[in-house]
Amino acid sequence: MKKILVIGLTAAMLMTSVLPALGATSKISSTSLFQQTPTSASSTLEDKTTKNIVLTQDQKKQLLNSLEAKGLLDGNPQLVDKINRGELPDSSNPEKIKAVAKELSISEQTPHKKYVFPDGSYLERTLTVNKKIAIVPENRSQLVEAIGNENDVDDLFAQVAEKQTKNQTSGKFSTQSLKTQSIINTDTASYYYDIWIQEDGNATGGGFTADFVIVWGGADSISKVWNPRCWAVGGTYTISTLAVDRPTEGIYSGSPARAHLSWEYSILGLGGSTYSTNLFVGNNTYYSTLS
């Protein structure tokens, strides 16, 4: 079945929970009804049994309390009536989410989007830059601290020097220029990034941290994904996968580097859906789209 994105509750609406960092393919299960991530997502939702879910009285109360805390119930009797009937909000309806997919694409230039459905429920997606370090000699100590390995930093400098810098008379790449470069051209500089990617809504959500490199004139790449966080209201979640699916951009194919986090959300054993938050890095930028 085709997958589409859904986003979970904002962190301010949830109780605190701390999860350990996961590797490339990890799995964690939680039975808590409320979880939180640090404040700071393309995503997919595989609809399994959503249409057959009927909320219990306790689940209705939890969801209504969460929406009230965000001021989404004032003057919105339609959403209250829907939840009191035991129905999930539009923000958990795959067909309604699919219809607004284009309005929820986020990128380096537009890192935050929020869509409010007619019933008052919402989807919200965010990209937050934790670190952005230009790959130039004067930033070597920062890069070593961020990446954690001097040899990896040396390899990064060599890669950027080979791919980014051209000899203006011969048109060939020069591997020497970065050794003396002291002025950063922000239009053509290469950068190391550490970002947090997150999606929020009314029932469940998740996010993760990713480290990647934008190499101007060369192949962009994702080096690491870690620090997964998920949360749920009125049910439970299981983190199934945190992975770098394509570590390096395909220069000739045009395929961007790709990473994703997926988790399963269940309404207390009554059924649920699989969610996936994706990150794409390529063409000297990064972005996330609903698919």
Q: What is the pLDDT along the chain (291 residues), one digit of tens a residue?
A: 333 333 333 333 332 232 333 333 434 333 222 233 333 334 444 444 444 456 678 877 877 777 777 676 777 788 788 877 877 778 877 788 888 888 999 999 999 999 988 888 888 999 999 999 999 999 999 999 999 889 999 998 988 887 755 433 344 433 334 444 444 555 568 999 999 999 887 777 899 999 999 998 889 999 999 999 998 876 788 888 999 999 999 988 889 999 999 988 876 555 567 788 899 999 999 999 875
Phi/psi zone of residue 284: left (φ > 0), alpha (ψ -120 to 50 degrees), beta? left
Q: How far is CA 155 from CA 81, 135, 162, 224, 288, in A?
A: 59, 11, 11, 16, 28
What does the alpha-carbon distance between residue 69 and residue 39 come to, in Å, rounded to a whole number? 16
Q: Which amino acid is at 131?
A: K
Q: Quick one: pLDDT at residue 42?
A: 41
What does the alpha-carbon distance between residue 18 and residue 229 come to, in Å, rounded to a whole number? 8
What is the residue whose two structure tokens read 């994703």? Answer: 260
Q: Quick one: pLDDT at residue 80?
A: 81
What does the buried/exposed string (b/e) look like for 202-221 if buried means 16 or more CB atoms within 10 Å of the residue's CB? bbbbbbbbbbbbbbbebbbb
Would you call 287 helix, strand, or coil by DSSP? strand
Q: Quick one: pLDDT at residue 203?
A: 74
Query: Please, are residues 65 and 280 in contact by the beta-carbon 8 Å criterion?
Result: no
**What residues does each domain of the chain span?**
11-130+192-288, 136-179
Handedness of CA 175, 178, 180, 181 (dihedral sign): positive
